[in-house]
Chain A
Amino acid sequence: MELRTFDNLIAQRKEEPETKPESEKQEAKSPAANPIKVETRNLDFFYGPLQALFGISMAMPEKSVTALIGPSGCGKSTYLRTLNRMNDIVEGTRIHGEVMVDSEDIYSSQVDVVELRKKVGMVFQKSNPFPKSIFDNIAFGPRIGGQRNKKELEEIVVRSLKQAALWDEVKDRLHSSALAMSGGQQQRLCIARTLATNPEVILMDEPASALDPASTSRIEDLIFELKKNYTIIIVTHNMQQAARVSDFTAFFYQGRLIEFGTTRDLFTTPKEKQTEDYITGRFG
Chain B
Amino acid sequence: MKGQRHSLAAKASGRRFWESSIEFSLFSCALVSVLTTAAIIFVLFSEAIFGLGGSVAFFQEVSLWHFLTDTKWAPQYGEGEFGILPLLVGTMWVTGIAALIGIPFGLATAVYLSEYASPRTRRIIKPLLEILAGIPTVVYGYFALVFITPLVIEPFAKFFGIPVDTFNAVSAGLVVGIMIIPMVSSLSEDVLRAVPRGLREAGYALGSTRFDVSVKVVIPAALSGILASFLLAISRALGETMAVNIAGGVRPTLTANPFEQICTMTSNIVAMAGSDAPAGSVQYQSIYAVALSLFAITFAMNVLSQFILNKYREVYQ
Question: Which A residues lie at the B interface, using CB under 8 A?
Answer: 84, 86, 89, 91, 114-115, 117-118, 121-122, 124, 126, 128-132, 140-141, 144-145, 179, 190, 193-194, 197
Contact = CB atoms under 8 A, between A and B. Distances in A.
8 contacts: A89-B204, A115-B207, A121-B205, A131-B220, A131-B316, A140-B206, A193-B206, A194-B205
Interface string B23-38: 0000000000000000
Contacts of B217: 130
Nearest to A190: B202
A197 B119 contact: no
Contact of B208 (A114, A132, A179): A114
Contacts of B208: 114, 144
B221 A130 contact: yes
B206 A126 contact: no
A128 B201 contact: yes
A193 B203 CA distance: 10
Interface residues of B, number: 23
A91 B199 CA distance: 17
A144 B216 contact: yes
A130 B317 contact: no
Interface of B: 118-119, 196, 198-209, 212, 216-217, 220-221, 315-317
A141 B206 contact: yes
A76 B204 CA distance: 20
Contacts of B196: 128
A190 B205 CA distance: 11
B207 A89 contact: no
Contacts of B118: 91
B202 A130 contact: yes
Nearest to A145: B207
A122 B201 CA distance: 9
A117 B204 contact: yes
Given A130-B221, A140-B216, A118 B206 contact: yes
- Residue of A122, A126, A130 with most partner-chain B CB within 10 A: A130
A128 B220 contact: no
A106 B241 CA distance: 58
List 4 A-B pairs, minimum CB-CB distance, nearest first: A128-B198, A118-B207, A122-B205, A141-B206
